[in-house]
Every structure is written in C-alpha cells, then in structure tokens.
C-alpha cells in the first residue's frame, strides 16, 4: 500500500521535472577537457606561464570558432590546469590526479625537460596521450613511449645552426667554450653540441658542467678570460643566463660571440638586461610569419598581434608551441571522430597539418622536426640572423669589449 502511494506521489514531481527541463531549453553542449600541470609559481614560473597562457588562448579561440567536431557533433574545449609550483614530484602527483581521479584522458604538458620526463611516465602508464611543447631532451623520446608527443626540436640539435653560422662569420669561429647546466635538457644539448663542433672542425677549449640554478659564474668566466675562446655557448635556464651576462660585464669578459639556449627570443630577457642584452645570440624554432597559415589564427603574424593585444608582450616559441599542442589535439580528435584516449593517440601519430607554429607531423618517436633559426639581440630587437638557407640578416659580430659599447 505504501509503495503504491509512493509511486503516485512521484508522478506529479516527475511531470514537474520534465516541464522544468523543457523550459530550460536544450542541454548544454558537451565538453572535452584537457588537463595539465604547469609551473605557475616557483623557479620556472617565468617560462611556465607561457604554457598556461598559450593553452587558454588556444582553447578560447577554438571554442569561439565553433569548437571541435566529433563525428557529427560539435563540442567545446575545457581546461583543468594545476600549479605544480616548479616541483617535479608535485607535478607527477597532479598528473596522476588528473587521470585517475578527474578521469581526464587527454593531457597537455608542463615546461622543462626534467618535468616532462617525470610526468610523461604517468601518461604512458595510464595509456593517455600527452602533447607537450615544453621539453626537448633526447631522453624524453628515447624510452620507446607511445603516448608522448613533443613540439620542440630535439635538444641535441639546438646549437647546430649556431655552429654552422659561426663557421661562416668573418673571422670564422675556431675555438669554443661550452657551459651547460646539469639537467636532462642541457646535458642533451651539450652532448649534441660536441658532435656539431667536431664536424665543423672547431676546437673545444673548455667543456664545463655547472649546477642548475647556479648564481655565481665568476670562476668559469675567469677561465674563459684566460682561454680566450672565440665563442661561448651556454645551455642553461633564463635566470642563469641573466647572471652569466651581468657577471661577464662586471669581469669584462667579451668573446667574439656568445649564444644561449634560452632567453634571447623573449621580451623578459631584453627588459631585464636593457642595452646589455645587445649582441647576445640565441635560437628559436619559431618566428612570427605570414607564410605560416593557421586554421584558427590566420597566420603567424596575426597570432603575434592577437597575443600581444591580450597579454601586452610578444609571444616567443614557448607560446607558439603551447598553442600548437592544443591544435594537435583538436586535429587528432576530429580525425579519430572520438575522444577515446587510444583512438586519439593513434590519430596523433598520423596528424600532418600547417599551423602558426609550422608543420605539425610527429615522427616515429613522437617528435616534430623544425629548424632552429639563429637570432641576435640588436639594438633591443630580436633579429633573425641565420636559418636553414643561410644568412638572413647581418650579424653584429665580433662582439666589442664591454668598455667599448
């Protein structure tokens, strides 16, 4: 008797609920959530922020253009981004949370090779794809992983174009000092650099590893001053590079050329150093170009304008690669007609499209191939100097003594 009464009593409630749903209109569009843990605070936040900003910038633009076509439906993108505070152990826990607790099956990467090496193991363990543009160490792609994809050139080739340019300068570079931090990325850079120097016939007069986050380069600079190398190549982090340049000035160390793996293309670098940033060489896998056509941003130049309008500074290759990471997921989801992690992973291995960042096509180990363009700070501006087809603009070379600037 009570059961019958209970059912009868529910009937008006059910009718009212249906009426309320009808009044509310159609159901909200489905969403596809991408998860990431990035360095929003801590020692790597200066560059880590590019990834948070880039992911959000891309998702906003893609959603405004209609979202992602999955089969016959269109779905919106969403993001869940956590701050790993520049702590690799925390980053691993956060990616584990994103996959196992939050049930997010599509991951965007953090910044820094060491962090990518640690966190990409989570993606591989749970068999969910990670697309990342923050790590370039050869170690990331030498482990036989199937679920990790990268949009930075391989670390061992970072100084290849710089060495090629140095051989053609007047006078040519003949002797080199190589300094590198003791993390996975910079060790990979150094290993490859030795090969390129040998092929170019350049003599390595100093080959020194230093501790990551080092602040005192005085002893290394004293050795450089006594060895008189034509060029100094430094593989490190932006804060280290800033310290190196400031101490080079204070100790009046002026090789004909010095080049750095990070910092030079970014607005923060030039702002921090002012005129002392002039003459510094670096490299970049991306420069804004009208020839880089893009489905959502028009081209590379239009992307740069849109980014600067929103954030107040020019994007560098970190920003462009972060946006390309999101675009790669969209292209793969649409090709797969599904958000199933394994189907998206298989589609990622086959994507081939032009973007504001360049051509996105992953090789057998999950990495793209982009040439590094040599750039130099000239009168406060980043100027492309040397590319895969030779010199683009005249280099300010040799670098004068600090006392003569």
Question: Per-residue pLDDT tens for 160-202?
Answer: 999 999 999 999 999 999 999 999 999 999 999 999 999 999 9
What local confidence, expressed as pLDDT, does residue 205 receive? Answer: 98
Within this chain, do residues 387 and 259 fall inside the same structural domain, yes or no? yes
Within this chain, do residues 249 and 383 fall inside the same structural domain, yes or no? yes
Here the CATH number for the domain that contains residue 297 is 3.40.50.2300
**Three-state DSSP string of the chain:** CHHHHHHHHHHHHHHHHHHHHHHHCCCCCCEEEEEEEECCCCCCHHHHHHHHHHHHHHHHHHHHCCCEEECCEEEEEEEEEEECCCCHHHHHHHHHHHHHHCCCCCEECCCCHHHHHHHHHHHHHHCCCEEECCCCCHHHHCCCCCCEEECCCCHHHCCHHHHHHHHHCCCCCCEEEEEEECCHHHHHHHHHHHHHHHHHCCEEEEEEEECCCCCCCHHHHHHHHHHCCCEEEEECCHHHHHHHHHHHHHCCCCCCEEEECCCCCCHHHHHHHHHHHCCCEEEECCCCCCCCEECCCEEHHHHHHHHHHHHCCCCCHHHHHHHHHHHHHHHHHHHHCCCCHHHHHHHHCCCCEEECCEEECCCCCCECCCCCEEEEEECCEEEEEEECCEECCCCCCCCCCHHHC
Using 70 as the pLDDT threshold, list the residues of the chain that sit under it.
1-29
What local confidence, expressed as pLDDT, does residue 29 receive? Answer: 57
Structural domain includes residue 7: no
Query: Residue 71: CA atoms inside 13 Å, Cβ hemisphere, count?
Result: 5
Average pLDDT of the chain is: 92
What local confidence, expressed as pLDDT, does residue 75 receive? Answer: 97
Domain count, the chain: 2
Within this chain, do residues 113 and 250 fall inside the same structural domain, yes or no? no
Within this chain, do residues 100 and 178 fall inside the same structural domain, yes or no? no
What local confidence, expressed as pLDDT, does residue 13 receive? Answer: 39
Within this chain, do residues 121 and 234 fall inside the same structural domain, yes or no? no
Within this chain, do residues 261 and 390 fall inside the same structural domain, yes or no? yes
What local confidence, expressed as pLDDT, does residue 206 receive? Answer: 98
Question: Is the whole-model pTM more than 0.85?
Answer: yes
What local confidence, expressed as pLDDT, does residue 26 receive? Answer: 42
Q: Per residue in 251-302, pLDDT tens? A: 999 999 999 999 999 888 999 999 999 999 999 999 999 999 999 999 999 9
Structural domain includes residue 114: yes
> Of 292, 319, 289, 322, which is closest to residue 307 (Cα–Cα)?
319
Within this chain, do residues 126 and 174 fall inside the same structural domain, yes or no? no
* Cα(173)–Cα(364) distance, integer angstroms: 35
What local confidence, expressed as pLDDT, does residue 5 receive? Answer: 38
Whether residue 187 contacts residue 211, with contact meaning beta carbons closer than 8 Å, is answered with no
Within this chain, do residues 98 and 215 fall inside the same structural domain, yes or no? no
Quote the domain boundaries for residue 354. Answer: 31-153+288-360
What local confidence, expressed as pLDDT, does residue 46 receive? Answer: 87
Structural domain includes residue 263: yes
Structural domain includes residue 314: yes
Within this chain, do residues 63 and 115 fall inside the same structural domain, yes or no? yes
Structural domain includes residue 366: no
């Amino acid at each position: 008797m009570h059961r019958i009464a209970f059912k009868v009593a529910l009937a008006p409630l059910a009718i009212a609920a249906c009426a309320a749903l009808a009044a509310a209109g159609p159901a909200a569009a489905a969403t596809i959530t991408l998860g990431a843990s990035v360095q929003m605070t801590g020692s790597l936040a200066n560059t880590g922020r590019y990834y948070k900003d880039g992911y959000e910038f891309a998702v906003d633009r893609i959603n405004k253009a209609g979202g992602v076509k999955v089969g016959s439906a269109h779905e919106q993108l969403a993001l869940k981004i956590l701050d790993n505070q520049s702590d690799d152990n925390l980053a691993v826990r956060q990616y584990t949370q994103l996959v196992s607790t939050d049930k997010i099956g599509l991951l965007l990467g953090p910044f820094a090779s060491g962090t990518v090496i640690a966190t990409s193991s989570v993606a591989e363990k749970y068999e969910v794809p990670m697309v990342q543009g923050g790590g370039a160490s050869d170690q990331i792609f030498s482990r036989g992983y199937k679920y990790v994809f990268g949009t930075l050139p391989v670390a061992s080739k970072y100084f290849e174009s710089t060495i090629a340019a140095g051989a053609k300068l007047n006078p040519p570079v003949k002797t080199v000092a190589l300094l590198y931090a003791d993390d996975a990325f910079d060790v990979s850079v150094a290993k490859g650099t030795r090969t390129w120097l040998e092929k170019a016939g350049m003599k390595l007069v100093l080959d020194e590893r230093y501790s990551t986050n080092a602040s005192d380069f005085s002893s290394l600079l004293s050795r450089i001053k006594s060895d008189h190398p034509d060029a100094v190549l430094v593989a490190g982090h932006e804060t280290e590079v800033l310290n190196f340049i400031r101490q080079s000035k204070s100790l009046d160390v002026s090789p004909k050329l010095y080049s750095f793996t990070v910092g030079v293309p970014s607005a923060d670098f030039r702002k921090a150093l002012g005129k002392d940033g002039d003459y510094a060489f670096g490299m970049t896998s991306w420069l804004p170009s009208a020839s880089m056509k893009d489905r959502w941003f028009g081209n590379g130049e239009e992307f740069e304008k849109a980014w600067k309008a929103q954030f107040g500074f020019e994007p560098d290759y970190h920003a462009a690669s972060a946006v390309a990471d999101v675009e790669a997921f969209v292209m793969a989801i649409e090709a797969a007609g599904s958000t199933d992690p394994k189907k998206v992973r298989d589609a990622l291995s086959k994507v081939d499209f032009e973007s504001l960042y360049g051509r996105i096509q992953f090789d057998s180990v999950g990495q793209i191939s982009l040439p590094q363009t040599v750039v130099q700070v000239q009168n406060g501006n980043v100027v492309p100097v040397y590319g895969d087809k030779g010199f683009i603009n005249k280099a300010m070379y040799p670098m004068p003594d600090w006392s003569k600037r």
